[in-house]
C-alpha cells in the first residue's frame, strides 16, 4: 500500500473519499471541470511550443542572413582593395574608369571611390 505507486485499492479509497466530501451530484461536475482544465493546459502548452519553434526558426534565418551580409561586405571590401591596388599600379584612374565604362556606368565627374562603389553594386546585381 505504501510502496510508492498507487494501486487499485488506493484509487478506490480516494474515490470514496471524494464521493463523501463532495456528494454524488458534484463528482461529475468536478470531473468535467478537471477535464476542461487539462484540455486548456494542453492547448496553451501546444501554443507555447509552436511560438517557441517560430522564434527559433526566425532567429536561425536572421543569423544566416547576417552571415551572408557580412560575407558580402567582406567580398566588397576585398574587391575595392584589389581595384585600388590595380589603379595604383597603373598610376592613374584610367583602369577603374575603363572598368566602369565597360559595365555601363557613367564616369563623368565621379571620384574613384564613387566609381568603385558603383562597380561593386553592378557586379552584385549580375551575381543574383
4 vs 51: which has the higher pLDDT? 51
Q: Does position 99 have pLDDT exceeding 70, yes or no?
A: yes
Largest CA distance in the chain: 102
Q: Can you tell me whether residue 41 is helix, strand or coil?
A: helix
Q: By CB neighbour count within 10 A (0-12 exposed, 13-18 middle, 19+ buried), where does 76 fall?
A: middle
Q: Average the pLDDT over 48-74 and give the result.
A: 74
Q: Does position 5 have pLDDT exceeding 60, yes or no?
A: yes
Task: Compute the mean pLDDT over every residue in the chain, rounded to the nearest whole number.
Answer: 77
Domain boundaries, the chain: 9-127
Q: Average the pLDDT over 16-31 and give the result.
A: 81
Beta-carbon count within 10 A of 121 CB: 13
pTM assigned to the model? 0.36
Q: Residue 40 — pLDDT band, cuts 50, 70, 90?
A: very high
Which three three-digit cell numbers place residue 23?
456528494
Q: Among positive and negative, which fits the CA dihedral 124, 125, 127, 128? A: positive
Q: Residue 71 — pLDDT band, cuts 50, 70, 90?
A: low
Q: Does position 75 have pLDDT exceeding 80, yes or no?
A: no
Phi, psi of 114 (to 5 degrees): -65, -40
Q: What is the pLDDT of residue 101?
A: 81
20 vs 94: which has the higher pLDDT? 20
Amino acid at each position: 500500500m505504501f510502496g510508492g505507486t498507487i494501486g487499485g485499492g488506493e484509487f478506490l479509497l480516494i474515490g470514496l473519499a471524494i464521493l463523501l466530501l463532495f456528494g454524488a451530484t458534484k463528482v461529475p461536475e468536478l470531473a468535467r471541470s478537471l477535464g476542461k482544465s487539462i484540455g486548456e493546459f494542453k492547448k496553451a502548452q501546444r501554443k507555447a511550443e509552436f511560438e517557441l519553434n517560430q522564434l527559433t526558426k526566425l532567429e536561425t534565418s536572421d543569423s544566416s542572413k547576417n552571415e551572408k551580409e557580412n560575407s558580402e561586405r567582406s567580398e566588397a571590401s576585398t574587391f575595392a582593395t584589389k581595384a585600388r591596388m590595380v589603379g595604383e599600379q597603373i598610376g592613374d584612374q584610367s583602369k577603374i574608369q575603363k572598368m566602369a565604362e565597360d559595365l555601363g556606368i557613367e564616369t563623368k565627374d565621379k571620384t574613384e571611390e564613387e566609381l568603385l562603389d558603383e562597380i561593386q553594386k553592378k557586379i552584385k546585381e549580375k551575381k543574383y
